[in-house]
Amino acid sequence: MALLERILVPVDFSERSHGAARYVEALADKNETEIFLVHVTTPLNYELSALDVGGTVLNELNADRTAELSEQLNQFAAEELRPYRVERLLFEGDPAKRVVEFAHERQVNLIVMPTHGYGLFRRFLLGSVTAKVLHDAECPVWTGVHLDQSPSFDQIRFRRIVVGVDVVCVPQALRAISWAAQMAEREKAEMVIVHAYPSLEGRAGEYFDPNWRTCFTQAANDEIQKMQQKLGTDAELVLESGDPAQVVCDLASARQADLMVIGRGSAAGMFGRLRANAYSIIRQSPCPVVSV
């Protein structure tokens, strides 16, 4: 199966959705990729429950709204995606649940969707729909806080890919490195792996054994090199101490990364599929993030 054979784009008709569509245009292969544009609306009877509207009136309102949304969906990115195989679908229900169900039903390879936050707190928030999709989807999810500012199609390039890994979560790290390596090969991009280990600096007056740093870095280096050997990759490795989100995002900024790839936690784990560090990385990243 091709890396990006089927791409799902949840659409809310905002500029963020248009930004996501521009990335899909750059990612898709005209001959291999099938694109699904999906808009999910809540049932109208829920929205009008307090107004005691029903029967014929409700049916007419539903028909009018469905026609209007269908037209909007048909017009969404119509010119940009004209050369591609595109299926446009309108659903009712809980947006996150329906998006995840559709992704599983169609065995989607990638979901591309923006985060959702406004105003002063935008960089600290993930929208509830995005958070649920990130938590529940089995396929990789491409997102980012800057998708509404995405460049035009002809300016989008994937030249440098940063992969953030946690050596404690080996299966997730392997998936992240593997996906990033396939993407790097596809785009002829450079790939850099980064791991952040805890800061070991002692407080004033406390004894700090400098050998601990060497032990931590050597153990992390050995583990990641084992992963690379297993996957047949040979990417540059950067090891730094500090807050994981800050370390990974700072490196992405310094290297002018076009894409970041991170792993998600186990769905059966205490913290669900997306750990707190992953949320922080997505919120702070200077470039789009793929959570694998």
pLDDT tens digits along 211-269: 777 888 899 999 999 999 999 999 999 999 889 999 999 999 999 999 999 998 644 33
- Which H, E and C letters describe 24-53, residue by residue? HHHHCCCCCCEEEEEEEECCHHHHCHHHCC
For residues 130 and 268, is the Cβ–Cβ distance under 8 A? no
pLDDT tens digits along 2-23: 799 999 999 999 899 999 999 9
Scanning the chain, the segments in alpha helix (DSSP H) are: 15-27, 44-47, 55-75, 95-105, 128-136, 170-187, 211-231, 244-254, 276-284
CATH 3.40.50.620 corresponds to the domain 157-292: yes
pLDDT tens digits along 200-212: 655 555 555 667 7
Residues 161 and 192: their CA atoms lie apart, in Å, by 6
For strands 160-164 and 190-197, give the pairing. parallel
Architecture of domain 1-149: 3-Layer(aba) Sandwich (3.40)
The HSE-up count of residue 81 (CA atoms within 13 Å, CB side) is 27
- 147: pLDDT confidence band, cut at 50, 70 and 90? confident
Beta-carbon contacts of residue 244 (< 8 Å; ≥ 6 apart) = 164, 166, 196, 277, 280, 281
For residues 39 and 90, is the Cβ–Cβ distance under 8 A? yes
- pTM of the entire predicted model: 0.87
Query: What backbone torsions phi and psi does residue 152 show, to the nearest 5 degrees?
Result: -65, 160
Residue that the structure tokens 């600290």 belong to: 124
Residues 242 and 160: their CA atoms lie apart, in Å, by 23
- Domain boundaries defined on the chain: 1-149, 157-292
For residues 87 and 36, is the Cβ–Cβ distance under 8 A? yes
Q: Rounded to 10 degrees, what is the CA torsion of 105, 108, 110, 116?
A: -30
Q: Taking residues 92-117, report their average pLDDT.
A: 92
Computed over every residue of the chain, the mean pLDDT equals 85
For residues 20 and 114, is the Cβ–Cβ distance under 8 A? yes
CA-based nearest residue to 21, from 156, 191, 123, 176: 156
- 123: pLDDT confidence band, cut at 50, 70 and 90? very low
Strand partners, 259: 161
Structure confidence at residue 262 (pLDDT): 96
